[in-house]
Amino acid sequence: MEDARVRYTKMTIKNSLIELLVEKPISKVSVTELCKQAGINRATFYSHYVDIFDLYKQVEDELIAKVAENLGPILSDECSNTEEVLESFFVFVDENRDVCRHFLSNIDDTGFTAKVVGFIEREFTNKWAHSRDIPEKMLKPTVLFAATGSIGILREWLKGNVKLSPAQLSQIIIMLTEKGISGMI
């Protein structure tokens, strides 16, 4: 287990990277610039990360794990309130707006969106295959439509082009998904 100083240093480095990513793409961020932003020296950076892309990948992997953790309850058979779970997820996204905006809206996408869509596709295809009356050949396109459509709305929300609260956002995504599915069965 890492001690508190190491955790704090890593958190400071990651937060500094996120601040820089608001201004420029990862390809334009240097270790020197990051260290200056974080108030650390290069030796400290290199004691934790191989290079800037190693740090970037760790931030991305942590965000994917948090997305899975936040959406996980929807996959549970005991989930009785999908809307509440989705709203909680959108609150998480809102609280982590800068990093989520970067990874979901980044033009030179590094695969983050594909990983999230892949997670949703795997998990929801399995769940919906057992809990919905969707014809088998329509299952994958239905899940992909729900996943990519939801991500599209989320991207626009993060850009400020969709003026909805997390509760309203969860309601509209559920409504669009449910109405789309009900039209197939």
Q: CA 94 to CA 46: how far, in whole Å?
A: 31
Region 125-133: what's the mean pLDDT? 73
User: Is the pLDDT confidence value at 110 over 70?
Assistant: no
Q: What mean pLDDT comes out for the span 96-122? A: 81
Does residue 57 register a pLDDT over 60? yes
pLDDT of residue 164: 93
Q: Distance between CA 134 and CA 183 in Å, rounded?
A: 10
Q: How confident is the model at residue 106 (pLDDT cuts 50, 70, 90)?
A: low
DSSP for the chain reads ---HHHHHHHHHHHHHHHHHHHHS-GGG--HHHHHHHHT--HHHHHHH-SSHHHHHHHHHHHHHHHHHHHHHHHHSTT---HHHHHHHHHHHHHHTHHHHHHHHH-SS--SHHHHHHHHHHHHHHHHHHHHS---HHHHHHHHHHHHHHHHHHHHHHHHT-S---HHHHHHHHHHHHHHHHHTT-
Per-residue pLDDT at 184 exceeds 60 = no
d(CA 153, CA 161): 9
Least confident span in 42-56, 80-94, 160-174: 80-94
pTM of the model: 0.83
**Which residue ranges make up each domain of the chain?**
1-49, 57-182
Higher pLDDT, 121 or 81: 121
The superfamily CATH assigns to domain 1-49 is Homeodomain-like (1.10.10.60)
